[in-house]
Amino acid sequence: MLPDWIDVCPVQLPGRSGRMAEPAYLSMGPLVEEFTAAILPYCDLPLLLFGHSMGAAIAFAVAQRLEGKVAHLFVAGRCAPHLQALAALHRLSDAELQAYMRRLGGTPDIVFSEPELMAHVIEVLRADLALNDSYHAKGQLAATPITAFCGTDDTEVSEERLAAWSDLTGGPFKKVMLPGNHFFHFDAAPVLHRHIIASGERASE
């Protein structure tokens, strides 16, 4: 849905899809090392990063490592990562994690009805949450603009804790609240695209 002059490069983390046999990361450092090594060959072009939920924390950590090479950072559905975590979600029981997934929405019903699939999803989710719970951002980006998005019905992210992303850059910051829950970005894709396109145009000037 983005124009042809924007190349979309999805990031596939271990433990998922074609990388399902690989162990998921449990800490941010090794993940960022692999991420930056993969993305460095593209840094001769204007680079925009978008991350949702845990991906927002990963995108920020990568932007810090690539300081000066990221034209704009877009984060969605996550509290600012320098704030104290409200709960250690990776320590929840399997049943509690399933209830957490149902509360967030976005997980197909078939996942809950297939025990083997559910067991794998829980394993990957627990690893994600361990990484997410343990990451605490330090310092700020010197001038990279940050735009932070969140759904108005997202029970995991308050507007105040979303706005705290402004502490993590010395550059411009914008907070955008859109209708929806934690997975608001599916329905709000056209709005997200408009922000990304506008930033891409500025970066290409």
Instruction: Round to whole Å and give the CA distance between 62 and 68.
Output: 11
| Annotation says 53 is catalytic | yes
Rounded-to-5 percentages of helix, strand, coil across the chain:
50, 15, 40
List 17, 53, 199, 204, catalytic entry = 53
Contact 81, 135 (CB under 8 A): yes
Beta bridge pairs of residue 141: 169
Instruction: Round to whole Å and give the CA distance between 146 and 95.
Output: 36
Contact 106, 83 (CB under 8 A): no
Query: In which region does residue 174 sit, left (phi positive, over 0), alpha (psi from -120 to 50) or beta (all else)?
Result: beta
Instruction: Please give the DSSP secondary-structure letter assigned to residue 24.
Output: P
Contact 49, 171 (CB under 8 A): no
Instruction: Round to whole Å and give the CA distance between 142 and 198.
Output: 21
Active site residues: 53
